[in-house]
Amino acid sequence: MNRVTVDREMCKECEYCMTFCPKKTILAKSSTVNKKGYYAVEAVDLKDCIACGICATVCPEGAIMVEKDV
């Protein structure tokens, strides 16, 4: 299974990753805030992830890493 890792402490809740994800199911806002006071995103439904890397590319903070299952 593909894996998306989010560094919650780097996330600034811009939601670009959620907006540009072609599957619209990969990331969702967390219910808790990070140290900066933002509701960071988290990976929730990776079975549909195609590991395209768009979320990582559009993240201005570099908080997302995508690993494709080989």
pLDDT band for position 28 (50/70/90)?
Answer: confident
Residue 46 pLDDT greater than 80, yes or no: yes
Domain residue limits, the chain: 3-67
In angstroms, the CA 36 to CA 30 distance is 14
CATH code for residues 3-67: 3.30.70.20
Asked whether the beta carbons of 23 and 33 are under 8 A apart, the reply is no
Closest CA to 43 of 55, 26, 59, 21: 26
Pick 46 or 8 by higher pLDDT. 8
φ, ψ for residue 6, nearest 5 deg: -115, 125
Asked whether the beta carbons of 66 and 34 are under 8 A apart, the reply is no
